[in-house]
């Protein structure tokens, strides 16, 4: 990757495998699909690189083909609040694209990530012409609403263990992140960034979750064994670190 070039300058067309990994592409008719394929581009973002910045006008609707991103914002005191993590298969920013407004959040890569983009004009063209695409966007908005309500609840939890469990459950959402499957490729440090806890505290929570049979810690990632249990897990409250 050439760091002297911007994400936009590094964009390229998608390979057949990358196109196949886009969940909504399979819902389009042949003519709709061709319109989308002709417009879709993909780029590689390095760790810490911004895909979207607060205040910038929307130009693309983005999706994670591979890697891990986080959505966050900075308050008046300069503190960063992380809202959600976005693993493979996740598409984001449909609300901003619908209204053609400026971003109210930052999207940043936590590791080397491949990010696809559909121009906002083509996004609106598909909304005007494709029933399948409309249904996908409606499902996205519905799931996203539930996700942000859950994120607000997680942010108010005093139990670090429950925060880790609920945050993990959100990352295994099969509607928003169909590319994850049963194994999430994430490090404990990356999860700590998303949850807002120390790596040591996250490690303790993961150990407890594994003992309950909800997950299994594997090399380079986490395997969910019981998603329902992960969403409903209850721990003894311990102080946040």
CATH class given for the domain over 16-150: mainly beta
Contact 133, 24 (CB under 8 A): yes
pLDDT of residue 239: 40
CB distance 97 to 123 below 8 Å: yes
CA-to-CA distance for 124 and 185, rounded, in angstroms? Answer: 33
Q: What is the pLDDT of residue 58?
A: 95
Q: Which residues of the chain form CATH 1.10.10.10? A: 158-232
Give the pLDDT mean for 192-206: 92
pLDDT-derived band at 201, boundaries 50, 70, 90:
very high
d(CA 3, CA 12): 15
Q: What is the CATH number of domain 158-232?
A: 1.10.10.10
Burial class (CB in 10 A: 0-12, 13-18, 19+), 228: exposed
From CA 231, how far away is CA 150, in angstroms rounded? 11
pTM of the model: 0.86
Q: Tell which residue, 205, 203, 215, 206, has the closest CA to residue 237.
A: 205
Residue 4 confidence class, pLDDT cut points 50, 70, 90? low
Q: Where are the CATH 2.60.120.10 domain residues in the chain?
A: 16-150
Q: Please state the rounded mean pLDDT for residues 157-172.
A: 84
| Residue-wise pLDDT tens digits, 65-111 | 999 999 988 776 777 778 889 999 999 999 999 999 999 999 999 99
pLDDT of residue 235: 46
Alpha helices for 66-198 (secondary structure H): 94-99, 120-129, 131-156, 160-171, 188-195
The burial of 104, by beta-carbon neighbours within 10 Å (0-12 exposed, 13-18 middle, 19 or more buried), is given as: exposed
């Amino acid at each position: 990757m050439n760091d002297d070039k911007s994400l936009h300058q590094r964009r390229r067309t998608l390979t057949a495998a990358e196109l196949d990994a886009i969940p909504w592409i399979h819902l389009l008719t042949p003519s709709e699909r061709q319109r989308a394929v002709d417009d879709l581009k993909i780029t590689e973002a390095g760790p810490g690189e911004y895909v979207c910045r607060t205040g910038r006008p929307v130009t693309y609707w983005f999706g994670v083909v591979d890697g891990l991103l986080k959505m966050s914002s900075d308050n008046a005191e300069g503190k960063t609040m992380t809202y959600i993590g976005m693993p493979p298969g996740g598409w984001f920013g449909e609300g901003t694209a619908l209204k053609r407004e400026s971003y109210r959040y930052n999207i940043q890569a936590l590791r080397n990530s491949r990010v696809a983009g559909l121009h906002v004009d083509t996004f609106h063209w598909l909304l005007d012409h494709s029933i399948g695409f409309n249904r996908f966007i409606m499902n996205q908005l519905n799931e996203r609403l539930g996700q942000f309500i859950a994120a607000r609840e997680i942010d108010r939890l005093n139990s670090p263990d429950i925060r880790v469990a609920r945050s993990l459950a959100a990352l295994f959402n099969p509607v928003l992140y169909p590319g994850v499957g049963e194994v999430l490729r994430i490090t404990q440090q990356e999860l700590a960034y998303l949850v807002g806890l120390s790596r040591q505290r996250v490690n303790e929570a993961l150990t407890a979750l594994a003992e309950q049979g909800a997950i299994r810690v594997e090399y380079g990632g986490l395997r969910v064994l019981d998603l329902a249990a992960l969403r409903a897990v209850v721990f003894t409250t311990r102080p946040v670190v």
